[in-house]
Amino acid sequence: MKKCKNQDGFTILEVMVAMIILSMSLLLLLNMAMIALDGNDWSHQATQSTQLLQEKLEELRTDMNLNSGIDTVNNIERNWTVSNSANHLRRVDITASWQNRRGDVLQNSITAFIRTDSL
């Protein structure tokens, strides 16, 4: 039998390099997944705060009890300020604040004018 110098197969070095490349790729994918989760959390909280801002504005418009105040809904703090703008016109500033997973305080706000019958 003749011995072949050129044998098919992988050397240990080739397998190690392939494993290192695969491991690095998986770590990068994990990092990308974590960034996507943070973005998803931010998007969810921003959408929820916008809905709560709109809800509070509609409540103030229909109730006509235009007093400043503060409340908390679903870990989102709403703070609203009502001020006179002109005759029969009130300016309403509403701010929603929440804390993300990293502990940063984020805010979303809306300003509107409401027409009233009284001065």
Determine the 3-state secondary structure of 4 from DSSP: coil
Q: String of b and e for 85-106 (b: at least 16 CB within 10 Å)?
A: eeeeebebebbbbbeeeeeeee
pLDDT at 19 over 60: yes
Q: Going from the N-terminus, what domains does the chain have, and what CATH number goes with each?
A: 12-115 (2.20.25.110)
| Residue 10, pLDDT score | 76
Per residue in 46-84, pLDDT tens?
Answer: 999 999 999 999 998 888 777 889 999 989 999 999 998
Residue 103 Ramachandran class (φ > 0 left, ψ -120 to 50 alpha, else beta): left
| Residue 119, pLDDT score | 54
